[in-house]
Amino acid sequence: MADINLSRGQKYTLVYVSLAKMALQTEMPPDMRLQFLQSIEKSVDIWLSADMIASIAPMDERSYEIMKEIMKLDRGKPAGKRKSLDICADKFEIFAALNPTLNVHQRAA
């Protein structure tokens, strides 16, 4: 069961970390790889430690299919009108069911 005490920002951060880790498993230019690693590093804060991030598994194919559908909703929309982050937070329980490592906050408690 997903941790319902997480904030919306925490939920989409966890989903994003798993997505970024999946992307890092693919071939990409070194500068793009560095950008992904830096974005993951920026996710470390008072509630999400580097060890917790390390324990998150890459997003699986089923989760990625869901993510692609969510991201389609933002195509062509300006930054202030995009909803994909909110949808990821709203659907966190689905992502966590498919990737139980997203429940890092529960394991740390």
The 10s digit of each residue's pLDDT in 3-16 is: 568 889 899 999 99
89, part of any domain:
yes
Crossing angle, helix 8-23 and helix 30-42, to 10 degrees?
A: 160
Quote the CA–CA distance of 108 and 29 in Å, as a whole number. Answer: 34
Average the pLDDT over each of 16-30, 44-58, 88-102 and give the range with the smallest value. 44-58
Contact present, 45 and 25 (Cβ < 8 Å): no
Q: For the whole model, what pTM was predicted?
A: 0.85
Number of domains in the chain: 1
Listed in order, strand segments (DSSP E) in the chain are none
1, part of any domain:
no
101, part of any domain:
yes
76, part of any domain:
yes
Write the pLDDT tens digit of every residue in 35-88: 999 999 988 887 888 899 999 999 999 999 999 999 998 888 887 788 898 999
100, part of any domain:
yes
**Residue 107: per-residue pLDDT:** 54
Domain span holding position 33: 8-108
3, part of any domain:
no
